[in-house]
């Protein structure tokens, strides 16, 4: 059990002339903890703020809590093959992972033993700026203990930080039968809701996702987490709806090509199969671009310049459907699924995608490449 935090934006870096002397002790403690440094003034301190190294660590209660947080972060943000996560070392301190994409955010991987509820823990420093807390529960293990800690954390957040989205990943469901995993989900949702309504919180922002690193479910879940942090999401969905209806497309996604998280789609229902095929398509295109692509540093597309240098690809699937991919900028790609007759009007599709790209640039203030 425990958690990954996503913060919607880069935290401000300290000014160069700022030294550790004129910073809040809690900030210093947290930074030392993340960077594994000792306090220069007091190398053997008795900590005033919680350092995250709890007395009840693994050797303490003898029960390792390895719900798979580091694996999730490595697979989603570092393209680690799932089988290699078997060799990941245990997380001993908070790992900060800055993700630079269409929007910059940070993922913090917390050691499973960290106890947010310890009064010595500097909660404000952790939760003060974050957008979402991801709580990972190992579905293959006993989870009642993890649920108690989750519920206590949700109550704490509801009291002090009610705008933080709480995303519960019921993880490692790959080894469970369909029936069993839905039973577990029902049980966890029920227990959490009961606890919250007993405490008087009926509409807490808590969502549940069944996940595994061995299929696309983890990317799908992360997509939903990130989407909630994008204020422009309704506008993006509206633009994708217009694109689909004016170009004869069945479905359209905007993907972040590094993480394969989709940041928006039109409002027709998402089916896992179409999502998976788009995600695999990105892998193919990224691999080919890595071999044959070239850098275009600082290239700005002028208003009357055509965009032929941007990656574009069309694939015909065995079932007769067409996948159309268009690079939007160095982070984002648009992938559309359509019937064969729609691609006959490719000129129209290219034109509409260009208009869509311009609209996106206005929404995000993006350059095209």
**Cβ 213 to ligand GTP shortest distance, Å:** 4
**Site membership for ligand GTP, residue 133 (CB under 6 A):** no
**Cβ 364 to ligand GTP shortest distance, Å:** 32
CA gap 337, 272 in Å, rounded: 13
Instruction: Enumerate residues 6+ apart whose C-beta is below 8 A from 6.
Output: 105, 106, 107, 108, 130, 131, 132, 134, 225, 226, 229
Residue with smallest beta-carbon separation from ligand GTP: 68
Of 158 and 217, nearer to ligand GTP (C-beta) is 217
Instruction: Enumerate residues 6+ apart whose C-beta is below 8 A from 172.
Output: 67, 68, 138, 139, 140, 211, 212
Candidates 3, 6, 7, 70: give the one binding ligand GTP (CB under 6 A). 70
Stretch that binds ligand GTP, among 81-89, 223-231, 268-276, 288-296 (CB under 6 A): 81-89
The sheet carrying 312-316 orders its strands as: 262-265, 249-256, 332-338, 322-327, 312-316
CA gap 47, 63 in Å, rounded: 25
Count of residues in contact with ligand GTP, rule CB under 6 A:
20
Structure-token pair, residue 180: 């069993």
**Site membership for ligand GTP, residue 3 (CB under 6 A):** no
**Site membership for ligand GTP, residue 158 (CB under 6 A):** no
CA gap 322, 129 in Å, rounded: 42
**Cβ 221 to ligand GTP shortest distance, Å:** 11
Stretch that binds ligand GTP, among 9-17, 49-57, 82-90, 245-253 (CB under 6 A): 82-90
Of 208 and 331, nearer to ligand GTP (C-beta) is 208
Structure-token pair, residue 208: 């549940």
**Site membership for ligand GTP, residue 52 (CB under 6 A):** no
Stretch that binds ligand GTP, among 23-31, 86-94, 198-206, 291-299 (CB under 6 A): 86-94
Tally Cβ neighbours within 10 Å of residue 47.
15
Distance from chain centroid for Cα 125:
21
CA gap 308, 153 in Å, rounded: 51
Of 68 and 322, nearer to ligand GTP (C-beta) is 68
Tally Cβ neighbours within 10 Å of residue 113.
21
Phi, psi of 351 (to 5 degrees): -65, -50
Structure-token pair, residue 233: 């999401």
Helical residues (DSSP H) of the chain, grouped into ranges:
25-35, 58-61, 69-78, 123-127, 144-160, 178-198, 217-227, 233-247, 272-292, 340-343, 346-364
Stretch that binds ligand GTP, among 65-73, 179-187, 199-207, 280-288 (CB under 6 A): 65-73
List the x/- string, 297-336, binding to ligand GTP by CB under 6 A: ----------------------------------------
Of 85 and 309, nearer to ligand GTP (C-beta) is 85
Phi, psi of 209 (to 5 degrees): -135, 135
Of 209 and 368, nearer to ligand GTP (C-beta) is 209
List the x/- string, 93-132, binding to ligand GTP by CB under 6 A: ------------------xx--------------------
List the x/- string, 192-221, binding to ligand GTP by CB under 6 A: --------------------xxx-------
**Site membership for ligand GTP, residue 174 (CB under 6 A):** yes
CA-wise closest residue to 263 among 224, 234, 231: 224
Interface residue list for ligand GTP (CB under 6 A):
66-71, 85-86, 88, 90-91, 111-112, 171-172, 174-175, 212-214
């Amino acid at each position: 059990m425990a958690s990954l935090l996503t913060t919607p934006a880069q935290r401000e870096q300290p000014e160069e002339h700022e030294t550790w002397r004129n910073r809040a002790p809690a900030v210093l403690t947290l930074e030392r903890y993340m960077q594994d440094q000792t306090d220069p003034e007091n190398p053997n301190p008795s900590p005033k703020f919680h350092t995250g190294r709890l007395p009840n660590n693994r050797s303490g209660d003898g029960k390792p809590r390895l719900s798979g947080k580091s694996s999730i972060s490595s697979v989603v943000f570092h393209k680690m093959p799932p089988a290699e996560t078997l060799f990941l070392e245990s997380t001993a301190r908070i790992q900060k992972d800055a993700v630079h994409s269409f929007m910059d955010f940070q993922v913090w991987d917390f050691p499973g033993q960290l106890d947010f509820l310890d009064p010595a823990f500097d909660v404000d420093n952790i939760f003060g700026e974050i957008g979402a807390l991801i709580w990972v529960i190992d579905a293959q293990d006993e989870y009642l203990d993890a649920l108690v800690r989750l519920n206590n954390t949700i109550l704490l957040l509801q009291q002090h930080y009610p705008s933080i989205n709480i995303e519960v990943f019921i993880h490692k469901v790959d080894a469970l039968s369909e029936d069993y995993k839905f039973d577990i989900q029902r049980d966890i949702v029920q227990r959490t809701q009961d606890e919250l309504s007993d405490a008087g919180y009926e509409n807490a922002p808590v969502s549940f996702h069944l996940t595994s690193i061995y299929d696309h479910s983890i990317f799908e879940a992360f997509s939903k987490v990130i989407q909630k942090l994008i204020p422009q999401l309704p506008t993006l969905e509206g633009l994708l709806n217009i694109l689909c209806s004016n170009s004869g497309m069945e479905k359209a996604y905007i993907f972040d090509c590094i993480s394969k998280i989709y940041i928006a789609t039109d409002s027709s229902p998402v089916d896992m199969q179409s999502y998976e095929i788009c995600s695999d398509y990105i892998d193919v295109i990224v691999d080919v671009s890595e071999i044959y692509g070239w850098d275009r540093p600082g290239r700005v597309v002028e208003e009357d310049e055509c965009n032929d240098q941007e990656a574009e690809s069309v694939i015909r699937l065995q079932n007769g459907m067409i996948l159309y991919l268009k690079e939007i900028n160095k982070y984002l790609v648009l992938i559309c699924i359509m019937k064969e007759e729609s691609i006959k009007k490719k000129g129209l599709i290219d034109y509409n995608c260009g208009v869509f790209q311009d609209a996106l640039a206005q929404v995000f203030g993006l350059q095209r490449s």
